[in-house]
């Protein structure tokens, strides 16, 4: 605090100094919050891609262990769905669907995560990726 603005024996900050600090904090928050939301949305998109790759790897391992067996299809992926699906765990807010032939689709189901509704990531049995994830 400047000595010319203070009276003898008074300590503390002036109202102007406090208002300037609050204004600076407000400006920083206005810049940081949209950036933080974009980081979160990209993180959710990455979780969808990781879930799809993990499911595709699990199916490939199952087919390698069981030659001549077709990749089973099941919309309800989880531990109770069969041997190939015990390794597939969807991240919270994602749903894994395996189509006949081994095509894996991960769909965003939570909503409000910064992704457009119905965003999905598909890996075909041939390993071709289709990215339909759109960040709002």
Q: Report pLDDT digits (tens) over 49-98.
A: 898 888 888 888 877 877 777 666 654 454 444 555 656 778 888 888 88
What residues have CB less than 8 Å from 69, skipping those under 6 apart? 62, 63
Is 3 a member of any domain?
no
Is 105 a member of any domain?
yes
pTM of the model: 0.68
Rounded Cα–Cα distance for residues 88 and 58 (Å) = 7
List, in sequence order, every residue forming a beta bridge with 36; answer none if it has no partner: none
Tokens of 136: 């709002």
Considering just the CA atoms, what is the radius of gyration of the chain in Å?
26
Domain that holds residue 103: 15-132
List, in sequence order, every residue forming a beta bridge with 108; answer none if it has no partner: 94
Helix (H, G, I), strand (E, B) or coil at 20: helix
Is 10 a member of any domain?
no
The more confidently predicted of residues 106 and 134 is: 106
């Amino acid at each position: 605090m400047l000595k010319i603005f203070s009276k003898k024996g008074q300590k503390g900050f002036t109202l102007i100094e406090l208002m300037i600090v609050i204004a600076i904090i407000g400006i920083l928050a206005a810049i940081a919050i949209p950036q933080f939301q974009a980081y979160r949305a990209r993180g959710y998109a990455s979780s969808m891609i990781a879930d799809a790759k993990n499911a595709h790897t699990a199916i490939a391992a199952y087919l390698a262990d069981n030659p001549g067996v077709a990749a089973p299809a099941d919309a309800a992926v989880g531990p109770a769905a069969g041997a190939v699906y015990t390794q597939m765990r969807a991240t919270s807010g994602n749903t894994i669907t395996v189509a006949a032939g081994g095509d894996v689709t991960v769909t965003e189901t939570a909503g409000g995560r910064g992704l457009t509704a119905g965003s999905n990531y598909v890996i075909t049995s041939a390993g071709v990726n289709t990215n339909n994830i759109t960040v709002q």
